[in-house]
Amino acid sequence: MKSALPALKAAEKPDLTIANADGATASHGLGRQHAGYLRKLGVDAMTGGDSSFFKKDLVESLETLPFVLRPANYPPESPGRGWRYFNAGKTRVAVVSMIGRVGFNRVHGDNPFTLLPGLAERLRQETPYVIVDFHAGATAEKQAFFFLADGKVSAVIGSHGRVATSDETVLPQGTGVITDAGRTGSLDSVGGCDPEPKIREYLTRIPDWSRDAWARPALQGVLIDLDDKGNTRSIRRVYRECGTPPEAENR
């Protein structure tokens, strides 16, 4: 992020930079320090997922970190916010974080299919620009959600798979979608982890997240261009490899 994001922003000049930061801290949640560092590196809004509350220091700070979102379909009693308006150039963009219901056994959000229509209508009373990060484990759930959202929001970007998909498209009513925007980190890895202990995990059934991978780091994501009505004009994938971080060379 430190080497690739500034170069990308200088070349593309985006009005707003959004990142799903659910696994930024050792592939397991997001710590307060890392949230602040990602903000310093140029991320304007950070969405969450099933690991949003895994780091106690972030949970205790969510009310004072307006740029960090947790899933909007978590209970109202949950700390933090599931959506906010962010300044983008001369206008505002509503950013929403949502979590799916398939594939998560430790957390369970309310039904995103029933929540989105009313929330989208409310947000579009303030701005035509509404972008949703949908953090879900099943491609079928993501794609069904895309068609529900078509015409209601500007874009729905899938996350959680940690592998970029090649199905970016604009749906008939103007909503840009992609099943998964990918991840930023090592390409020669198993979701960011060193392959050897992950292979051993499948052989022994003992979970092992002990070693981060550093080979071939790259930034992945999408660039979305919206028109004056809030519809997606274009959506294209971003892929930028960068050199191995100096702190990783001695590992």
Q: What pLDDT score does 172 carry?
A: 98
- The domain ranges of the chain are 4-186+215-241
Q: Give dist(CA 28, CA 14) in Å, integer.
A: 28
3-state secondary structure of 192: coil
- DSSP H/E element including 18: strand 18-20
Please tell me the least confidently modeled range out of 20-29, 69-78, 133-142, 234-243. Answer: 20-29
How much is the average pLDDT of 98-110?
88
Say whether pLDDT at 251 is over 80: no
Alpha helices (H) along 100-245? 112-123, 139-149, 195-204
Of residues 26 and 113, the one with the higher pLDDT is 113
Burial of 166 (0-12, 13-18, 19+ CB in 10 A): exposed
Q: Is the model's pLDDT at 89 over the cut of 90?
A: no
pLDDT of res. 28? 79
pLDDT of residue 26: 78
Would you tell me how many other CB atoms lie within 10 Å of the CB of residue 225? Answer: 12
pLDDT at 246: 53
What pLDDT is attached to residue 213? 86
What is the pLDDT of the chain when averaged over all its residues?
A: 93
Nearest-5° Cα angle at 179, 53 to 81? 30
Residue 52 sits at φ, ψ, to 5 deg, of -55, -35
Architecture (CATH level 2) of domain 4-186+215-241: 4-Layer Sandwich (3.60)
Whole-number Cα distances in Å, 139 to 9, 13, 173, 178, 234 = 29, 31, 21, 10, 22
**Where residue 248 falls among pLDDT bands split at 50, 70, 90?**
low
The pLDDT value recorded for residue 49 is 93
Give the model's confidence band at 193: pLDDT under 50 very low, under 70 low, under 90 confident, else very high: confident
pLDDT of the residue at 191? 84
Would you say residue 236 has pLDDT above 50? yes
Q: Which of 71, 209, 59 is nearest to 132 (CA)?
A: 71
In the predicted model, what is the mean pLDDT of residues 22-39? 90
Q: 125-177 pLDDT, tens per residue? A: 999 999 999 999 999 999 999 999 999 999 999 999 989 999 999 999 999 99
Residue 151, pLDDT score: 98
Confidence of residue 247 (pLDDT cuts 50, 70, 90): low
Q: State mean pLDDT over 204-219.
A: 87
For 31-61, the pLDDT digits (tens) are: 999 999 999 999 999 999 999 999 999 999 9
Bridge pairing between strands 217-226 and 232-241: antiparallel
Q: 170-192 pLDDT, tens per residue?
A: 999 999 999 999 999 898 998 88
**Contact present, 133 and 18 (Cβ < 8 Å):** yes
pLDDT, position 59: 94
